Amino acid sequence: MSSEIIVLAFALLVVLLIAGVPLGFSTGAIGAALLWINFGPAGLSLIAQRIYDLAVTFSLLAVPLFIFMSMLLERSAIAHRMYDALNMLLCRIRGGVAVTTAGMAVIMAAMSGIIGGEIVLLGLVALPQMLRLGYDKHLTIGTICACGSLGTMIPPSVVLIMYGLITQTSINDMFVAAVVPGLLLGAVFIGYIIIRVNLNPSLAPVVERPAPKADAQDGHPLIEMALTLAPFVLGGLAGMIGAQTGATGTTPITIGIGTCAALQLIAILVTQRRQDLVIAHGLVPPLLIVTVVMGSIYGGITGITEAAAMGVGITLLIIAIRGEFRFDLFAGAMEGTFRSTGAIMWVVFGATVLAGAFSLSGGNRYIASLLAELNLSPSGTILIMLVIFFILGMFMDWIGIILLTMPIFMPIVRSYGFDPVWFGVLFSMSMQVAFLSPPFGSAAFFLKSVAPPDIDLPTIYRSFGPFILLQIAVLMLVFFVPDIALFLVR
Amino acid sequence: MQTPKLLAWIAGEGSIPILPRLLGILSRITMLLLPIIAAAMIYEVIKRYVFAGPTIWVNEFSVWLAAVVYLVAGLYATQQRAHIRITTLVDYLPMKARMICELFSLLILAAYVLAIVVGGLDGAMEALFNWESLGTAFNPPVPATIKPLILIVSVLVLLQSVLNFVETYTHRRHDSADEGH
């Protein structure tokens, strides 16, 4: 096909998007037009076929299930209690509340796979607290949004799932590879906060430990931490004993994780009666959720989709044990999940139509030849792609970017011999930048929706500067040292 | 004890016109498939590890229900105006230009739905009349149900979008008439 039609199709797509046509409908319609022009009416049969094939993909089911789990978490008090617990542990160091917020965001990110809910939650819990204690406004906002965006970087992550599906990369490998870069980002943020507040103490006043309630039998922090961490040690021991007594395959891991989860469940039942043990009461439930979901995935016990279902189950169980279960909480979570699922899936449908039409029309070859003419080195090409991600990220949603660019970029990435898993990690890190970058960085809008009125969008975006630089620095590190992502996969 | 609450929730409340009410009921019934899917999968994991006997039906059953969820959820998202779109520019336009954009959006959607239906009709009919199934041990009629459902829901998404447009249009005309007084 002629290159003019491809250029025209993309120009038209941009026009449609700016005119406010929903993403899913504009990509689908352009895809249909490409099929019609190239193959006549017969080509249109591809549309329903591709939608059907995608709709019955088992891995795709992980997306609504992880969203459901996040929606349940957001509506429960699990996150609030975790914040209290971390605060109790960390409040006496300088910048402790900021570190608490960042730490909570990282743990939340290991339970949640979407962006939005986490930032809203931190905006409701941490923002008023930090402003009241006299923390610097910009540091507070930057911490909340940068750390709150990690949900789509640290597994489970809907971004990683969609990337794996669209580029036919193993989602399991993506989940393994993204852990270290994701945690590294979190660690760099926390390190930055600690250095900043020590260089300039006026940014973060030291606060006293909140006084224990009058009737509380105050638990000693060390004992509480022991109670929190004991299940991991005992679970590990149980697993080792299992391996010693001749269990094979994943059985020792299953025994270990099962023991750990069971002990954590007992700890939750105990702390439900002893709510004065603030640290254990707050930390064990999120750790149980992480144990079940991540343990199932990394221990090879279940696939990602089943792990997501287990996550839904364990979250509901904790909510029920803690006496928070109400029908409207459950119905609200279902409703929210349903609405997001509808919005995301129809974008995915439209994009699979466009991607199919595009590659059938020879668009991939055209873009590849275009890039070849630029005569760039392989690494230079990857850098150009990252720059394109940044630019698109200012204006578009991550899902639109995956669907528009990956069908074009992936063949090139593979032909240069780069690992698609590594490229996927780079992609999801560049989306971290995209969430923060003006004018449409979505993190800012999520925070704005719950922030006090005197915090306006320009203030929010100004706060992001240092954090964006940190994100780009870590991204470059993974770019130059791919093993940071890949050493666990091999 | 929960059952009357559940039924009341499905039925919806207040004096809502018949069409949105029906869509609400359909959506809330479909939403309930989400916890059902999760429960089925947890059952499968327990069967596999505790009783060492995986089921033959959970994966296909889940995928089947999930496909229904994706499709009906798209219809619900249309009614809730939750589809992902870039509105930052459109929001700054004067009302008339905005309505032109909305109309344009509607035409694009109509073209897309027409393409889905024209292209998919033969395949959907074939799957439906031959009662096509997956050909596995459990053998659910996934193609026979989902392929036609894709077309039906697409048409409904278009109709709902037309309703949304009419609603916005009458609402805004009403608003501007108020301003005239």
Distance CA A365, CA B86 (A): 30
pLDDT tens digits, residue range A324-347? Answer: 999 999 999 999 999 999 988 998
**Per-range mean pLDDT, top range of A143-152, A292-301, A355-364:** A143-152
Instruction: Output the pLDDT for position A46.
Output: 92
3-state per-residue secondary structure call for A117-128: HHHHHHHHHHHH
- CB contact A463 to B (< 8 Å): no
Candidates B2, B83, B101, partner chain A, best to mutate (most A CBs within 10 A): B83
Q: State whether A306 and B122 contact (CB < 8 Å).
A: no
The answer to whether residue A245 scores a pLDDT higher than 90 is no
Candidates A334, A347, A352, A440, partner chain B, best to mutate (most B CBs within 10 A): A334
The answer to whether residue A489 scores a pLDDT higher than 70 is yes
The answer to whether residue A427 scores a pLDDT higher than 90 is yes
The answer to whether residue A35 scores a pLDDT higher than 50 is yes
Query: Phi and psi dihedrals of B11, rounded to 5?
Result: -65, -25
Chain B residues whose beta carbon lies within 8 Å of the beta carbon of residue A397: 84
Which spans in A111-218 are helix H? 117-132, 137-148, 158-167, 171-199
Q: State whether A28 and B147 contact (CB < 8 Å).
A: no
Instruction: Output the pLDDT for position A424.
Output: 96
Least reliable range by pLDDT among A98-102, A413-417, B69-73, B82-86: B82-86
Q: State whether B83 and A25 contact (CB < 8 Å).
A: yes
pLDDT tens digits, residue range A429-467? Answer: 999 999 999 877 889 988 988 888 889 888 999 999 999
Chain A residues whose beta carbon lies within 8 Å of the beta carbon of residue B5: 327
pLDDT tens digits, residue range A109-124? Answer: 998 888 888 899 899 8
Q: State whether A56 and B71 contact (CB < 8 Å).
A: no
Residues 6+ apart with CB under 8 A from A313: B38, B39, B42
Distance CA A138, CA A193 (A): 12
pTM of structure: 0.91
Rounded to 5°, angle at Cα A456 from A455 and A458: 125
Instruction: Output the pLDDT for position A210.
Output: 58
Q: Is the previous residue joined to A439 through a cis bond, with omega within 30 degrees of 0?
A: yes
Query: Phi and psi dihedrals of A184, rounded to 5?
Result: -60, -45
Average pLDDT, chain A: 88
Q: State whether A24 and B89 contact (CB < 8 Å).
A: no
Chain B residues whose beta carbon lies within 8 Å of the beta carbon of residue A306: 41, 44-45
Low-confidence ranges of chain B (pLDDT < 70): 1-3, 173-181
Q: State whether A25 and B109 contact (CB < 8 Å).
A: yes
pLDDT tens digits, residue range A52-67? Answer: 999 999 989 999 999 9
Query: Which of A52, A345, A346 is opposite residue B146, by nearest beta carbon?
Result: A52
Instruction: Output the pLDDT for position A215.
Output: 45
Chain A residues whose beta carbon lies within 8 Å of the beta carbon of residue B102: 20
